[in-house]
Structure 1
Amino acid sequence: LFGTRAGRRALQLVRNNEIDLVHGLGASVLGYARARRTVNAPLVFNPQGLEEFGATDPSRARLKRAAYLPLRRAVLTCARAADAVLATDRSLQPAVLRHLRVPAARVRVIPNALDLRLVDDVADAAAVRELAGRAGIRDGEAVLLSVGRLERNKGFHVLLQALAAAREHGAFHERPWRWVIAGDGPFRGHLEALVERLSLQKEVDFRGPIADAEIHAWYELAMLFVHPTLYEGSSLVTLEAMAHRRAVVASTAGGLPDKVRPNVNGWLVPPGDPGALAAAISGALADPDRLERFGRAGRAIVEQEFSWQAAGDATVALYRELLREQSGRQPG
Structure 2
Amino acid sequence: MSLTVVLHGDPAATQQTRLAFALASRGHHIVLCDAPEIAARVRAAYPDRCAEMSSQPRLPMFLRRALTRRRARALGADVVHLNSLKHWHALWIGLLPYIATAWGSDLNDEVFPKPKHVTRAVDRVLAHADAVTADSNALLRKARARAKDSRAPFELVFWGVDRALFDPAKAAPGARAMRERLGIAPGVRVLLSPRQNKPHYHVDRILRAFAASAWSRDGVMVIKLHGRDDDAVHEARLRALAAELGVTDLVRFAPPCDYEELPAMYAMADVAVSALEADGVPSTLCELMSLGVPVVATDLPDYAGVLAHDERALLVPPGDHGALVGALDRLAASPELGARLATHGKAWVEEHADWERCVDRWEALYRKAVSPSAPAKAPPR
Deviation at 1:74?
Answer: 4.0
Q: How many residues align?
A: 308
1:234 to 254, 274, 281: 281
Specify the SS of the correspondent of 1:240: helix
Deviation at 1:277?
Answer: 0.8
Which residue of the partner structure matches residue 102 of structure 2?
48
Which residue of the partner structure matches residue 223 of structure 1?
270
2:122 to 75, 87, 106: 75
Task: Report the Cα distance in structure 1 between the residues aligned to 2:256 and 2:364, rounded to whole angstroms.
Answer: 38
Structure with the larger helix share: 1
Which residue of the partner structure matches residue 33 of structure 1?
93
- Point out where structure 1 has 5 or more consecutive residues left out of the alignment: 37-42
Q: Does 1:284 align with 2:336?
A: no
Once structures 1 and 2 are overlaid, which stretch shifts more, 219-228 or 247-256?
247-256
Matches within 5 A, 1:75-224: 75-103=122-150, 106-120=153-167, 123-167=170-214, 176-183=218-225, 184-224=231-271
| Alpha-carbon spacing, 1:79–1:166, altered in 2? closer, same or farther (3 Å) | same
| Alpha-carbon spacing, 1:192–1:32, altered in 2? closer, same or farther (3 Å) | closer
Deviation at 1:271?
Answer: 1.8
Once structures 1 and 2 are overlaid, which stretch shifts more, 120-129 or 78-87?
120-129
TM-score, normalising length: structure 2: 0.68
Deviation at 1:254?
Answer: 6.8
Deviation at 1:317?
Answer: 4.8
1:271-322 superposed Cα distances (whole Å, 9 cap, x missing partner): 2221111111111222212212221222222222222222133334545666
Task: Report the Cα distance in structure 2 between the residues aligned to 1:166 and 1:134, rounded to whole angstroms.
Answer: 25
Task: Report the Cα distance in structure 2 between the residues aligned to 1:232 and 1:288, rounded to whole angstroms.
Answer: 28
| Alpha-carbon spacing, 1:10–1:261, altered in 2? closer, same or farther (3 Å) | farther
| Alpha-carbon spacing, 1:7–1:91, altered in 2? closer, same or farther (3 Å) | farther
2:353 to 299, 306, 309: 306
Q: Does 1:8 align with 2:69?
A: yes
Task: Report the Cα distance in structure 1 between the residues aligned to 2:235 and 2:151, rounded to whole angstroms.
Answer: 41
> AA paired with 2:213?
A
> AA paired with 1:277?
L
Task: Report the Cα distance in structure 1 between the residues aligned to 2:233 and 2:256, rounded to whole angstroms.
Answer: 13
Deviation at 1:245?
Answer: 1.3
Deviation at 1:5?
Answer: 5.5
Deviation at 1:45?
Answer: 2.4
| Alpha-carbon spacing, 1:134–1:109, altered in 2? closer, same or farther (3 Å) | closer
Task: Report the Cα distance in structure 2 between the residues aligned to 1:185 and 1:220, rounded to whole angstroms.
Answer: 25
Task: Report the Cα distance in structure 1 between the residues aligned to 2:301 and 2:234, rounded to whole angstroms.
Answer: 21
Q: Is the 8 A contact 1:5 1:31 kept in 2?
A: no
Q: Percent identity?
A: 25
Q: Is the 8 A contact 1:151 1:185 kept in 2?
A: no
Task: Report the Cα distance in structure 1 between the residues aligned to 2:112 and 2:294, rounded to whole angstroms.
Answer: 30
Task: Report the Cα distance in structure 2 between the residues aligned to 1:263 and 1:128, rounded to whole angstroms.
Answer: 26
Specify the SS of the correspondent of 2:373: helix
| Alpha-carbon spacing, 1:260–1:196, altered in 2? closer, same or farther (3 Å) | same
| Alpha-carbon spacing, 1:315–1:60, altered in 2? closer, same or farther (3 Å) | closer
Instruction: Provide the alpha-carbon RMSD of the alignment.
Output: 3.5
> AA paired with 2:93?
A
Q: Is the 8 A contact 2:222 2:252 kept in 1?
A: yes
- Point out where structure 2 has 5 or more consecutive residues left out of the alignment: 1-54, 57-63, 226-230, 377-381
1:60 to 102, 109, 112: 112
Specify the SS of the correspondent of 2:344: helix
Q: Is the 8 A contact 2:165 2:263 kept in 1?
A: no
1:199-225 superposed Cα distances (whole Å, 9 cap, x missing partner): 112322222434445442131111111
Which residue of the partner structure matches residue 52 of structure 2?
none
Specify the SS of the correspondent of 2:166: helix
Task: Report the Cα distance in structure 1 between the residues aligned to 2:71 and 2:349, rounded to whole angstroms.
Answer: 33
